[in-house]
With several copies, the nearest count.
Chain A
Amino acid sequence: MIAFDEQTAQRVIADFPILARPTSRGKRLVYLDSAATSQKPNAVIDALDTYYREYNANIHRGVYEIAARATDEFEAARAKVARFINAQPQEIIWTRNATEAINLVAYSWGAHNLHAGDVILTTEIEHHSNLVPWQVLAERTGATLRFIPVDGRGELILDDIDRLLEGVKLLAITHVSNTLGTITPLERILPKARAAGATILVDGAQGAPHLPVDVRALDVDFYAFSGHKMLAPTGIGVLYGKRALLEAMPPFLAGGDMIRKVGYERTSFNDLPWKFEAGTSNIADAIGFGVAVEYLEALGMDWVRAHERDLLSYAFERLAPLEARGLAIYGPKDPARSSGVISFNFADIHAHDMASILDTEGICIRAGHHCTMPLMDKMGWSATARASFYVYNTAADVDALVEGLEKAARVFKL
């Protein structure tokens, strides 16, 4: 039996107003789609409200009181997010999302460091956001892409890793697979990549929300993640970059705030991190991101990880009996190697039909390719259903999922 920390979980649920709102069919909302985007606690929603009602103002150049407060809170949020991953504030670049963060590296670092014949190493389990920018960059520069292969359980095959790393200029690898939950063995790959002289970018879109992350201990050059998947508002993400690398990179977007001195013909650029933040920032949502990581820190990322592991263990236990009736669960079925994602198909019920039937019970899951089409093609799946967990999920949500699957079996007369 799994020992849930039910008390904390109930306190957490109470912080998320959306979870108290029944669906139009009067069902309890069973939100199992946090890998797509997380729900937001009152503290984050209230922070936006307070910003707009009390001190909304443009930052950095404002002399008056509310502008000073906005600037302070905005930069304090950066410091909070920096601390959350053990970085310095100057190393935290605000972006819209993980996707923009990765593109920033592809444009700014990539265009200046990558040349014809260079090799980018990535994996077969990447989200489109950590694949397509490198395809585009490779096409533009004449570099080539190489892939760390995936096995049938959704785990990376490292047998050939030394050969794969030979001559690699950039390693772009996910921390956690959003489709399968696989936690990639960064501790085995990154030191080798470092030794091979590669620059290292980790797509942390599913890492930072779910695992304790220390960018210094990991020794990554870049780490990209999105606020909206970790309790923060939509529209705000982060690129962490090592200071020396960021200093050496040319700006990405140009405009207000990222400059030092502008003439009609010539311009010099601002210090980090503002060099990479052109135009008016997403002030409110950055402040909200700061509140979100405070919320996670108060829970403790070890608690978050343990809670998700408990949920996964319990889910595997409850789902096991259905496997005899045609339930196929993909990915590593080991809570120690997997973050809170369960990808599955049930007999001949298509994932989209499954999602529609579960929806009638208030259960929110995702169906489709999860922005990992090449992985789906390789695995031979046209679509999977995906349930994903976060801090506010409990055993009751797993129970609801299991009942939902039973209902789907009845509807499809399995």
Chain B
Amino acid sequence: MDDFYRDFILDHYRNPRNQGHLDAPSASAEDLNPLCGDRIRMELDVRDGVIRDVRFSGQGCAISQASASMLTESIKGMRLEDAAKLSKDIVLENVGIGISPTRMKCAMLGLRVLKSAAIGEIAGWPDEE
């Protein structure tokens, strides 16, 4: 787990990309990981079925915040439909090695919120195990 905190993770944690709010988001969602208290909000600017812009806000551990920050970079320009279908692999690819099973929920929080915003409903959460 200690090898998880590589420079680029710490960089995303300390200098999150796309942090903040959109003036008029076309979709948004928020959730918290009740067991650790991490909280993330995602706002999307969608035009013609494509994610033109995205902002996230919230607080939490390096894993949840860095994962969310990286995720925002991955999805800009993505079709909303495809975002709704994202699997946890995108997060695992972004963050690389070293997440212990107990922390997987933290890593997936941003994705969970993004998908919630994208599909606009509760169904289809990413498998967190």
Residues of A participating in the B interface, judged by any CB pair closer than 8 Å: 60-64, 67-68, 71-72, 259-261, 270, 348-353, 356-357, 359-360, 367-369, 373, 376, 382-383, 407, 411-413
Contacts and interface: CB of A to CB of B under 8 A. Distances in A.
Interface residues of B, number: 25
Interface of B: 1-2, 4-5, 7, 10, 13-14, 32, 34-39, 59-63, 100-103, 106
B1 A357 contact: yes
Contact of A411 (B5, B38, B60, B103): B5
B97 to A, nearest CB: 14
Given A261-B32, A369-B37, A413-B10, A350 B103 contact: no
A359 B2 CA distance: 9
B58 to A, nearest CB: 10
Nearest to B35: A61
B14 A61 contact: no
A68 B103 CA distance: 10
Contacts of A261: 32, 34
Q: For B35, B100, B103, which residue has the most chain A Cβ atoms within 10 angstroms?
A: B35
A352 B63 contact: yes
B38 to A, nearest CB: 8
A259 B101 CA distance: 23
A138 to B, nearest CB: 23
Contact of B59 (A349, A382, A411): A382
Contacts of A413: 7, 10
30 contacts: A61-B35, A63-B103, A68-B101, A68-B102, A71-B102, A259-B34, A348-B13, A348-B14, A352-B38, A352-B106, A353-B63, A356-B2, A356-B100, A356-B102, A357-B1, A357-B2, A357-B5, A359-B1, A360-B2, A367-B36, A368-B36, A369-B37, A376-B37, A382-B37, A382-B38, A383-B60, A411-B2, A412-B5, A412-B10, A413-B10
Contacts of B101: 68, 72
A350 B2 contact: no
A116 B23 CA distance: 46
B103 A356 contact: yes
B15 to A, nearest CB: 12
Nearest to B101: A68
Q: For A350, A368, A407, which residue has the most chain B Cβ atoms within 10 angstroms?
A: A350
B34 A67 contact: no
